[in-house]
Amino acid sequence: MAAKRRILIAGNWKMNGLKKDARSLAGALGTKMSKLKAKPQSKPEFEMLVCPPAALLGPVVDAVKGKGIAVGGQDCHANEAGAHTGDTSAALLKSMGCKYAIVGHSERRTDHGETDAMVKAKAEAAHKAGLSAIVCIGETLKQREAGRAKSTNKKQLAGSLPAGATAKNTVIAYEPVWAIGTGKVATPEQAQEVHALIRAELAKAIGEAEAAKMRILYGGSMKPGNAAELLALPDVDGGLIGGAALTVADFWGIAQAV
């Protein structure tokens, strides 16, 4: 039945920070994580991940080396290499030291017209390169108000879930678009309802055992003040955090809520 899933606290820095900011933020988190690991009884109950802008991957990987913090890309291209100016391949992310790639964030779906099929292809490219894909889905306010929150998430999940998805290579992030960067957070009831739906849909797609092990993150205005309540929900296995991932106090505060 209830599988033990390791909480993932993932920071999505989006297009924020310069080289010096990235170094100091990652460095400070690394110091905190090292201190936590050094305490005999306090092996971190969570996995920490930071996803900086692509150009800052190098300095961030260096800053967290050996500190027990994973690094991820915010996107990857579906192709392995080639004439795709400005894009980043999953293989390059891997070679830089990344473990994860976020795919299908709603800002990419909106800014770059990414469809479910494109998101699925990107997630499969991430797998091929040896990365875990964090596949984002979530409804808009309009869809929620029209009573279509469940059907929207079901459709996006079905369309974006990579072939061969397992609990090891895939994480789902439920991010209601109306909660991203708005300060409006989903209520525990709203979050749990969609997370449970996602797990039930995953069970149909990849089998109950694998679905029970797969992590489903909540994203959208998660802060130290609301994290404990959200992270305690039965089907919430971590957070994908934007604004609050940009300061040590907030991001560490969320991790402390685990």
Q: Tokens standing for 209?
A: 């055992």
Nearer to ligand PGA, 17 or 243 (CB): 243
Nearer to ligand PGA, 46 or 91 (CB): 46
Active site residue 145: no
* Contact call for residues 145 and 124 (beta carbons, < 8 A): no
Choose the catalytic residue: 105, 114, 124, 195: 105
Beta bridge partners of 71: 50
**Shortest spacing between CB 208 and ligand PGA, in angstroms:** 28
Q: Tokens standing for 215?
A: 């992590």
State the alpha helices, DSSP H only, in 161-207: 188-206
**Shortest spacing between CB 149 and ligand PGA, in angstroms:** 17
Q: What is the length of the chain? A: 258
**Shortest spacing between CB 221 and ligand PGA, in angstroms:** 4
Task: Look at residues 98, 78, 95, 96 and name the one whose alpha carbon lies nearest to residue 87.
Answer: 78
Nearer to ligand PGA, 33 or 240 (CB): 240
The residue of the chain with the least Cβ separation from ligand PGA equals 242
Nearer to ligand PGA, 14 or 91 (CB): 14
Active site residue 175: yes
**Shortest spacing between CB 126 and ligand PGA, in angstroms:** 17
| Element holding 60 (H helix, E strand) | helix 57-64
Q: Which residues contact 28 (CB under 8 A, 6 or more apart)?
A: 248
| Element holding 250 (H helix, E strand) | helix 248-256
Nearer to ligand PGA, 91 or 132 (CB): 132
**Shortest spacing between CB 239 and ligand PGA, in angstroms:** 8
State the alpha helices, DSSP H only, in 78-187: 90-96, 106-111, 116-128, 141-145, 149-160
Dist. CA 253–CA 114, nearest whole Å: 33
Choose the catalytic residue: 47, 114, 139, 175: 175
Binding residues for ligand PGA, rule: CB under 6 A, are: 12, 175, 180-181, 219-222, 240-244
Q: Could you give the residue numbers annotated as active site?
A: 105, 175
